[in-house]
Amino acid sequence: MSHVRTQIRDAIATRLTGLTTTGARVYRSRVFSLEDAELPSLSVYIKREEIVQVTLGTTPVLTRRMELVIEAHVAANTDLDTTLDTICAEVETAMEPLLTISGVNVPAILRTTEIEFLSDGEELIGLATMTWSIDARTAEDAPQTLVA
């Protein structure tokens, strides 16, 4: 079984697949650059994790607060901000129902959204970076298994 980070990232990418504006163009921890035909798109990463040991004993439990980033990329010369806002609305709506993995609730809270416009190419590129806080718990010796 994969690490809980992978399970959470995959579950969220699956949940975001098929949204009206971005469709199937949802990428997980992708390395290679995006081409024109792959836009507008969503990219999903877990960039950081803060871990606190909350119980002592033979099997300590770790609380993991993950920083999940969903980036929306759009290339267009008009209505970039409106398109990014539309994508953000679709993502926020898709993320609203409580995420449950293997019967364990995994709360996700939107913390920040940053909008940027980049003008280095022949089309303007719009970027919306949505940062979510996700709380999960595992036993110290079983990072693949979520615990309630």
Partner 1 sequence: MSVESASDLLDIIEALGGIDAESVTVTHAGGSFSAIFARPFVEVEAGGMGVESRQPVLVARTSDVSALTKDTALTVQGDSYKLRRQEPDGTGITRLILRTS
Using CB under 8 A, list all residues that contact partner 1: 27, 30, 33-36, 39, 43, 45, 47, 69, 71, 73, 75, 77, 116, 118-125, 127, 129
CB of 34 to partner 1, least distance (A): 5
**Residue 3: phi, psi to the nearest 5?**
-60, 150
The three-state secondary structure class of 37 is helix
Q: How far is the CB of 41 from partner 1 (least distance, A)?
A: 8
CB of 9 to partner 1, least distance (A): 13
- Minimum separation from the CB atom of position 81 to partner 1 (A): 15
Cis-peptide, bond into residue 143, ω within 30° of zero: no
Task: Name the phi and psi angles at 28, rounded to 5.
Answer: -110, 120
Residue 123 vs 140, nearer CB to partner 1: 123
Rg of the chain (C-alpha set): 17
Nearer residue to partner 1 within complex by CB, 80 or 146: 80
Paired tokens of 38: 């792959």
19 vs 136: CA distance, rounded Å? 26
Q: Which is nearer to partner 1, 39 or 61 (CB)?
A: 39
